[in-house]
Structure 1
Amino acid sequence: MSNLLRRSFSGIIYVLIFISAILFSKESYIILTTLFGLICVWEFSKLIDFKSLIGYILFGLTLFLLLKRPDSFEIVGILGITIISSLFLMYALFTKKEITFSSDRAKSGLLIRYIIFSMIFLVLLPIQGNEYNPNLIIAILILIWVNDSFAFLVGKNFGKTKLFVSVSPKKTIEGFIGGLLFAFVASFIISKFNNDFTLINWLIIAFIVSVIGTIGDLVESKFKRQANIKDSGTIMPGHGGMLDRLDSLLFAAPFVYLYINFII
């Protein structure tokens, strides 16, 4: 089987499982995203050579407590820490500085801020108090997938100017712009069927998802380049690891959560 067929087949299976869990119930969504989160913790722990079990324990405990009290004050502090940490990772990316984590303490802090806290906000995105809104997370997934797909297609066919060659040599500025424009188109269509937000708000969400998601992809590529590996894992044939598949969504989730819950 060619790599394209493997990639297409595993991608379709991934989408079907994800959408089915979202639509079936709040509980099935939480269970699946929690499983995804644990796999990401495992893959990133291997990537930075961190052998402690603290990441799994803290992820489960923090998620359990925040699901019990989704409107608690603690979530504001965790969101602030996550956003600030993401900004530092962006700074390291754009200044081309190496992300250092020489001690186990530094590795655990990085794992918590970059993977665990971000994953928690992905789980919490469609949950407002006791209300579960599956259409919201599906819309965000559509924006992510449209951006990624058209960034690839436009970049492959028209891309000439490299976006960030030192980290991801295949990405182009033309592909980035193409993905962003088609995400705007998708947000316009979504606004016609989803009345949760106005068109302007959907366009802003599309902008956050596209721009921050692309940066998240580059940040994960930077970690892999520092570790001298191609993929974070092998769980998804043709795609690599779960972290490779979720890197954009994972990085963008706290920013989307911030906009939806504290700005709109």
Structure 2
Amino acid sequence: MKQRVITGLLAGVLYLALLWIGSFPFAFLAAAIAVISYIELAVMNKMSATSPEVLLGAVAVLFIVCSALFSPSVLGPVWPRLVTLLALLLVLFNVMTKNRFSFAHSAYLFLSVFYIGIPFHLLVRVRMESLALILFIQILIWTTDSGAYFIGRRLGRHKLAPYISPNKTQEGSAGAVIAALAAAFVFQWIIGQPLFDSWMQLLGAALLISIFGQVGDLVESAIKRFYGVKDSGKILPGHGGLLDRFDSLIFVLPLLYVLGFIA
């Protein structure tokens, strides 16, 4: 527990410090987290982190995240070509490796590139537009995690998804949503300036972040259970991998984008 607390504090301070600074320092941190998370996904599927096909995907993730630093008009026209090129190169490895690297592996890495790259692209882009908004999202995710853990330990009786994540409870999940809603209203009261056009939008955003943050956690748990691993990695002593720490954010940011809460 001591190691877990120390690791969490040090990593949290570094993350929040660079989040506050924003710009290139935070973009580079987000890109590093994204690349490591992508590699963790690849390694889960028994792929070598240093294989050419995995490294190709890592370069693609790095590009997707760092492209948030530029205007969409600069890179917009080339995106379809780059996506097509990535797909062709990944399936080309099927031939080059005599099917040691199969079409299923190609599809896995192709999806992993965008499953990881898009959320961290959005993370950098939202930070560039509004520090308050990205803090709101991040704090609600952390509040949801803490609420689910502490309320679940104290009041949890009914399992939420026993075949995927046996420790999660329905009571913890409900308590996490209530905690996140309270945090949303407190955060809005503290900053004063409205984050959304109405209180109803604020409530809707908070509900989405808390509920689907938990869904993102379950999605990663399902992936780990399928591949028979406890943690996505070992980079954070006492916490596991970076994918374990950012699974909720990975799911929430694209959903907020699709529904128009972030641009």
Alignment TM class, shorter chain as reference: 0.7 to 0.9
Give 1:74 shift: 4.5
Deviations 1:15-70 (A, max 9, x none): 11111001123222111111111111111110123442121111122333343124
**What is the number of equivalent residue pairs in this alignment?**
233
Give 1:142 shift: 0.8
Worse-superposed segment, 200-209 or 145-154: 200-209
| Counterparts of 2:218 and 2:254, CA distance in 1 | 17
- Mapping 1:136-215, distance limit 5 Å: 136-194=133-191, 195=193, 196-197=195-196, 198-215=198-215
Corresponding residue number in structure 1 for 2:224: 224
Change (3 A) 1:192 1:29: same
Contact 2:119 2:249 in 1 (8 A): no
| Counterparts of 1:150 and 1:103, CA distance in 2 | 38
Q: Which of these residues, 41, 45, 56, is aligned with residue 42 of structure 2?
A: 45
AA at the equivalent of 2:170: I
- Mapping 1:1-264, distance limit 5 Å: 4-50=1-47, 51=51, 52=53, 53-70=55-72, 74=76, 103-128=104-129, 133-194=130-191, 195=193, 196-197=195-196, 198-258=198-258, 259-261=260-262
Structure 1: gaps spanning 5 or more residues: 82-100
AA at the equivalent of 2:202: W
Deviations 1:168-191 (A, max 9, x none): 000001000000001000001111
| Counterparts of 1:112 and 1:155, CA distance in 2 | 33
| Counterparts of 1:158 and 1:102, CA distance in 2 | 46
SS at match of 2:166: strand
Give 1:153 shift: 0.5
Contact 2:67 2:121 in 1 (8 A): no
AA at the equivalent of 2:219: V
| Counterparts of 1:25 and 1:116, CA distance in 2 | 18
Larger Rg: 2
Change (3 A) 1:70 1:189: farther
Deviations 1:204-232 (A, max 9, x none): 22111111111111111111111111000
Whose relative contact order is higher, 1 or 2, with alpha carbons under 8 Å and at least 6 apart? Answer: 1
- Percent sequence identity over matched residues? 30
AA at the equivalent of 2:108: K
Deviations 1:98-150 (A, max 9, x none): xxx9722211222123222222222222233xxxx222212211101111001
Change (3 A) 1:54 1:245: same
Worse-superposed segment, 172-181 or 24-33: 24-33
